[in-house]
Amino acid sequence: MIAAFKTFFTVGSSLVRLLPLTALLLSPLSTASQAQATYAGSHTCQTCHAKEFQQWQGSHHDWAMREANASSVLGDFNNATFSHQGVTTSFTRNDGQYFVRTQGADGKYQQFQIAYTFGAEPLQQYLIGFPNGRYQALTIAWDSRAAEQGGQRWYQLMPNDLGQPGESLHWTGVYYNWNTQCAACHSTGLQENYSQSTNSYNSTWAEINVSCESCHGPGSAHSSDPKLPLPVAYSPQLQWVIAEGTDIAQPAGDPHAGSKIEIESCAGCHSRRAKISADAVNNHQPETELLDHYQPQTLRAGLYHADGQIQEEVYVYGSFIQSKMHQRGVRCSNCHEPHSLELKAPGNKVCADCHAPETYDSPKHHFHTPADSAGAQCVNCHMPSTTYMGVDTRRDHSMRIPNPTMAESIGAPNACNSCHQNKTNAWASSAISIWLQLQPDTSDNQPSHYGETIAAGRARQQGAGLQLTELANNTSINSIARATALGLLQYYPSQASYKTARQQLSDNDPMVRLGALETLQFLPLLQRWADISPMLQDQVKAVRLEASRLLLGDGRLSAAYVDEYMDALLLRADRPNGQLAIASAYLAQGLYKQADSAFEHALVLDPLNNVAINNFADSLRAQGQHQQALDLLVKSNKAIPDDPMLLHALGLAQFRRQQPALESLRRAAELQPDNSRYSYVYAVALNSQGKTQQAIDILSEALVIHPLDRDLLIALVTFNRDRGELGQARAFARQLVERFPGDSGAMQLLNSL
């Protein structure tokens, strides 16, 4: 389904849960056979695989996208109306066709024909075609749940974020565009076919929905000769057995090789990732890695809570690879029937295949009665849910033990309070401690969790660099957490973080190697070559691309690597943030005109994109076009009033052109007090105009919010020193030394006073 994502990583299916998998033992196709294979269509699979075909029919994959007709449209088109924020939309049908009357991009009411349905349960969206090859999803969706569950109604997907006509978050805008947002994972063999020169699409698919070949790859060779394997080779599941006297099942063999292929096949759609290959999902060489085609997102703030629990719409892969299940070799089809996508057993029985019910499905373990109560259900404690798109409830697949104490300390959700909503984390922590004390051989002293380290790193806490280093080097921790720690280490440049990054460049997991490269961003460009250039030979494409990105602008980087990197970026040329990445790459190479063209195209796609405007103005300034930069910012601040980023940029541009700038800088600092840089720059500007006391007041207020901001403290020292308040200057200098004990510059500043 389509949701409004303004981030670089906006992919995946939001209705579909898991991709179908086969239990056939197959060997990979040869490269020649793979290249010759084409899409045969699901109807060719039906003859030999009738059972699997029948299971697939009616599944979420089958319903992923359909032509709009009486059998597919679930919403009320019997002259129904829906009003939201002053806009009244009506839904009608005529002669077997379905129509909606609502505001278009120009703000005028028009009638649009529904071309396709999108998904089925718990909601259904509707796609409308436009002459330039675009299909747009209405932001009004049909709640297909039963009426007693609150369904059978029209509702607004983003009730508090309704874009106005002409804006990117309007249903006609780029963030509700089917071609770029969701098409690749809702249809089989999708080719986007975007033309940047005309800003249009000629998108095609092999099949309209998620059919057999979405998961098994093009099957023409196999359908002609069943002895030939399919492109994507899945191994049969191993038997997991709970041995006598044990509580948890063990596999009859090594499950990891088979689980990797299966999970990475699913991850093509069920992950938050960037596409770096032109191949359609699962239409690529069988020996390749997931990171040859996609770059998964790590545990970024805003996407995941610090402990790795899902926050934004991140799908399943990123949470599942954090789990002990993944480490043990459990795969998607251990729990989900691969063609119908249903759970293999209802309720706790799906867990009982591997976890002895007499031990785990018991009040002695979960402390809840009766047996069918919400608290007695495994998933409610170990897979808490988050609701997206208003009605779509999804389970966190990291399968963690609830930890109310940590949740309280890092601001993460706690599964206990999902049910006990009128209780506190402290109450939940106390209750767990009491329960555990009643059991022999248990303790409520849970080991430290990487969430505490990631939270400290995000907050730029003093000492977090050491914690992040320890996490990055801990090979017993999952790769996505280690990669996240490495990414955060870029904000803690030191000999220890540098040594850690160099060490992890040789880690077996490509995601960890990517994180190590991210750490090395703190190195100046001229110092990067020795450490990073060997990674240009990495077998995994995502690692090579990141190495190329970090070396752009170094004359020793060959054109072949630059071209490979730019080709990957161009796959996202129809997205505003894709154009921003393209512009950034051109800027790194000193190609300002090409960068400016990318900024301009980003603003064609999203006219009110504040990052594009800000960076475009910076590019113009770097070229000496100060007045053009100022004109752009003045115009943009009229179109987007009260945007702190643009106000701050405007103030800087006004200052450079010797125009009054304090008002713009003041408003930026007041509108976004959590951005210490805005307060710092405003204070510097005040001080430059002789308003030193006011500047000190601004800095002092900001320091309360950002006590570890080095720039704020140094400014407070120097401003007080320069006006003769040496006592105050010394007091702030002592704070600086206390908070940054290894900073020789801070000690020198104190000694100078």
Q: What is the pLDDT of residue 430?
A: 87
- d(C-alpha 209, C-alpha 120), whole Å: 12
Tell me the helix, strand and coil percentages in the chain, rounded to 5. Answer: 45, 10, 45
Q: What is the pLDDT of residue 723?
A: 94
With CA atoms as reference, report the closest residue to 433 among 451, 450, 416: 416
Q: What is the pLDDT of residue 30?
A: 41
Beta bridge partners of 275: 294
Q: What is the pLDDT of residue 35?
A: 54
Cβ atoms of 418 and 384 closer than 8 Å: yes
3-state secondary structure 210-276: CCHHHHHCCCHHHHHCCCCCCCCCCCCCCCEECCCCCCECEECCCCHHHHHHHHHHHHCCCCCEEEC
- d(C-alpha 515, C-alpha 504), whole Å: 8
Which whole number is the average pLDDT over 587-607?
Answer: 97
Cβ atoms of 577 and 8 closer than 8 Å: yes
Cβ atoms of 278 and 189 closer than 8 Å: no
Cβ atoms of 61 and 341 closer than 8 Å: yes
Cβ atoms of 341 and 210 closer than 8 Å: no
Report the percent of the chain where pLDDT is more than 70.
94
Give the relative orientation of helices 710-722 and 692-705 as an angle to the nearest 10 degrees. Answer: 150
With CA atoms as reference, report the closest residue to 20 among 344, 332, 314, 343: 332
CA 103 to the chain's CA centroid:
30
- d(C-alpha 46, C-alpha 269), whole Å: 24
Q: What is the pLDDT of residue 399?
A: 95
What are 489-532's pLDDT values in tens digits?
A: 999 999 999 999 999 999 999 999 999 999 999 999 999 999 99
Burial of 583 (0-12, 13-18, 19+ CB in 10 A): buried
With CA atoms as reference, report the closest residue to 456 among 503, 409, 526, 495: 409
Phi/psi of residue 143, each to 5°?
-80, 105
447 confidence band (pLDDT: 50, 70, 90): low
With CA atoms as reference, report the closest residue to 398 among 312, 315, 340: 315
Beta bridge partners of 112: 100
448 confidence band (pLDDT: 50, 70, 90): confident
Q: How far is CA 449 from CA 271, 325, 418, 445, 489, in A?
A: 23, 17, 21, 12, 18
Instruction: Note if the bond before 28 is cis, omega within 30 degrees.
Output: no
- d(C-alpha 287, C-alpha 541), whole Å: 13
Q: What is the pLDDT of residue 501?
A: 98
Q: What is the pLDDT of residue 446?
A: 59
What are 142-180's pLDDT values in tens digits?
A: 999 999 999 999 999 988 877 889 999 999 999 999 999
| Lowest mean pLDDT across 244-258, 417-431, 437-451, 692-706 | 437-451
745 confidence band (pLDDT: 50, 70, 90): confident
- d(C-alpha 2, C-alpha 180), whole Å: 10
Q: Is pLDDT of 700 > 80?
A: yes
Q: What is the pLDDT of residue 537?
A: 98
Q: Is pLDDT of 21 > 80?
A: no
Task: Supply the mean pLDDT for the chain.
Answer: 92
Q: What is the pLDDT of residue 46?
A: 95
Q: Is pLDDT of 6 > 80?
A: no
| Lowest mean pLDDT across 228-232, 307-311, 348-352 | 228-232
Q: Is pLDDT of 564 > 60?
A: yes
CB-CB neighbours of 443 under 10 Å: 9
565: tokens are: 């990197």
Cβ atoms of 683 and 715 closer than 8 Å: yes
What are 656-674's pLDDT values in tens digits?
A: 999 999 999 999 999 999 9
CB-CB neighbours of 579 under 10 Å: 28
Q: What is the pLDDT of residue 393?
A: 96
Beta bridge partners of 110: 102
Q: What is the DSSP string of 534-599?
A: GGGG-SSHHHHHHHHHHHTT-TTS-HHHHHHHHHHHHTTTTSHHHHHHHHHHHHHTT-HHHHHHHH
Q: What is the pLDDT of residue 433?
A: 82
- d(C-alpha 355, C-alpha 334), whole Å: 13
596 confidence band (pLDDT: 50, 70, 90): very high
Alpha helices in 173-224 (DSSP H): 178-181, 183-186, 212-216, 220-224
Q: Is pLDDT of 357 > 90?
A: yes
At residue 622, the 3 state secondary structure works out as helix
At residue 110, the 3 state secondary structure works out as strand
Q: What is the pLDDT of residue 410?
A: 94
Q: What is the pLDDT of residue 438?
A: 61
Q: Is pLDDT of 27 > 50?
A: no
pTM score of the predicted model: 0.91
Instruction: For the chain, list the domains and their CATH numbers.
Output: 31-208+216-222 (no CATH), 240-437 (no CATH), 688-753 (1.25.40.10)
- d(C-alpha 619, C-alpha 592), whole Å: 7
- d(C-alpha 206, C-alpha 204), whole Å: 7
Residue 557 sits at the vertex; the CA angle it makes with 551 and 561, to the nearest 5 degrees, is 90
Q: Is pLDDT of 546 > 90?
A: yes
441 confidence band (pLDDT: 50, 70, 90): low
7 confidence band (pLDDT: 50, 70, 90): very low
189 confidence band (pLDDT: 50, 70, 90): very high
659: tokens are: 């125009």
Beta bridge partners of 98: 93
Residues in CB range of 261: below 8 A, 6 or more apart: 232, 233, 234, 235
| Lowest mean pLDDT across 143-157, 273-287, 340-354, 630-644 | 273-287
530: tokens are: 């020795």
Alpha helices in 29-86 (DSSP H): 31-36, 42-46, 50-56
